Chain A
Amino acid sequence: RFNKELNSEFYEELEEILILSDVGVDTTQKIIEQLKKDIRLRGIKTSDECKQLLKEILIQFLIENQDEFVITSPTVITVVGVNGVGKTTTIAKLASKYKAAGKKIILAAGDTFRAAATEQLEIWGQRLNVDVIKHKEGSDPSAVIFDAINASKARGADILICDTAGRLHTKTNLMNELSKIKKVIDREYVDAQKEVFLVLDATTGQNALQQVKIFREATDITGIVLTKLDGTAKGGIVVAIKSEFKFPIRYIGIGEQADDLQEFNAQDFVNALLDF
């Protein structure tokens, strides 16, 4: 599909591929500039070599800060993100994965707002045979987390995973609620390893950058989970996110079932993104 020569049309095609994958204008330009520079440095002449180089550049972007994810006992994972991205389902997938690795898991139904959010998590809890700590709809999410921490201690859980209600990052009061949850965890579970996973939907466009920017202010994001990569969206926005924020991308979601979770792999991701 490429021209033989590395002319402006060729670069425009690359630009099109990257932008159509949601990489965004700024990051695409940054990547193309880097590509042109490296082409000169290495004296690359063919489009095949150039494509290979582009892959390398993207992988370089993505592997930065991708330290190995080690879970010590006890660990609290809080899962946050905007509405409908796949937080609750991701929690079920994480629980399933860690349980299979022999960990004792407790789930906290910290979404006390959305209709039947607690019931949704409870059904997952039943399916996976994992305890779920819950309160009534409309109660204070921090209180649920507080109880879940105590239950985790009492029952000797290795990992507590906290669900939170979907919230748009522009809603200040809801973002403050997240800060409050963080405070409760810091105060009540001093010796626990603290993780906060921001869930992003691969279908999301440039707004995902804004989401990272503002969620990061309300809480200490330690990793990103990119869901819904089983569709046709490429999730290229994480390239932009990575180049701006450096958070490790921990997992990807590739379906609606408990085992549809994979560890993020930069090489596989780039191969799927570029499709050549």
Chain B
Amino acid sequence: MAKNKTDKNWMPRWFYQLASPRWCYDITGKLLPAFGVLALVLLLGGTVWALLFAPADYQQGNSFRIIYIHVPSAILAQSCYIMMAIAGAIGLIWKMKVADMVAKSCAPLGASLALLALATGAIWGKPTWGSWWVWDARLTSMLILLFLYLGVMALHSAIENDTTAAQSTAVLSLVGLVNIPIIKYSVEWWNTLHQPATFKLTEKPAMPPEMWLPLLVMVVGFYCFFAVSLMLRLRNEILRRERRSSWVQALAESR
């Protein structure tokens, strides 16, 4: 018993509360409207700012504006993968059902974002580089990310039992985690057609503020939109997996 007690204190209280599907369902229900409004305002404002007010680029003209979709979706596709792997690891180690559900909900969202990043990149690549697709390290590693997401989704749907499926996909996502630093540093480690990062932590961005401020708004907007979509999926998943529990049944009856 004493051992169990110290175990409880090892992590903050809210972390253990999140482990309760019911509590998680309630808290996401409260957070949803705020993130929804924030996502709507940021994405609308960011899009208008990016398309109408940001200056055109000296070489690419207006076609550079696709980065306002391309960069946020690429960043988020990677963040989403990291989140999926961490949630999977928590599910593996602490046997936390909610973590498994988070990991499962991440996969289709991440796949759509990776696909969006690849598609916008190809559309931009044709007029700028002269080619839709090149097998350079950045593009290929990003394609592998998409396949990892699809693999996780396929594996999850191939296994009937929810717990086993969560364990197997968690291991697959952890193995695939090695791809994330490869995507990030591909443009620094190898000769690629894709340009190096415009934003570096240690240096001034290679872009004036009137161009990167709307980009920042779009990135934050994408994160909020991702939070909304993830919470919606997670709530669905909670209801599905907990459908036999009394609180879900009560909830269904009260509607």
A binds B: no
A residues with CB within 8 A of B: none
